[in-house]
Structure 1
């Protein structure tokens, strides 16, 4: 898995906020992945201290769905 690191630079930032700012969409199981990549992160409390380095996974782009032919009921 490829990863990148981010340093927290704002006060009152939660892990969920940090993930949302990075990916801009809900991704099931991502919080757990980030906690696995960052041992001890959960012990810092609900708000990440400024200067905390957080490793995030780089997600692969989802495959584009196949195009479907348009079916018209009435011509």
Structure 2
């Protein structure tokens, strides 16, 4: 069973940057994270230094390695 992650904002962090840097999550996870953190949206676009953001665990994310499609320009 996977546990929720606790991320801490650094100076000048926006939520999407924090999620990408610390958890490897993209924009499709923003709504789920905002739902798990009531009042987070009220803090504004730049999170105050030290803001703790909870990233809830899901079976789709837990244990799944981050992958990217390979784009080959030439044969």
Q: TM-score range by the shorter chain?
A: 0.5 to 0.7
The alpha-carbon deviation at position 24 of structure 1 amounts to 2.8
Written as runs of structure 1 = structure 2, the 5 A alignment for 1:1-75 is 2-8=3-9, 10-24=10-24, 26=26, 28=28, 30-58=29-57, 59-62=61-64
Q: Which has the larger radius of gyration?
A: 1
Q: With the length of structure 1 as denominator, give the TM-score of the two structures.
A: 0.66
1:54 counterpart SS class: strand
The 2-side partners of 1:26 and 1:16 are apart by 7
Q: What is the distance in 1 between the residues matched to 2:47 and 2:31?
A: 16
Q: Show structure 1 runs of 4+ deviating over 4 A.
A: none
**Cα RMSD for the two superposed structures:** 2.2
Offset at residue 3 of structure 1 (A): 0.8
CA deviation after TM superposition for structure 1 residue 34, in Å: 0.5
* Structure 1 runs not aligned, ≥5 long: 63-75
Deviations 1:17-56 (A, max 9, x none): 001012335362x100110110000000000000211111
Q: How many residues align?
A: 61
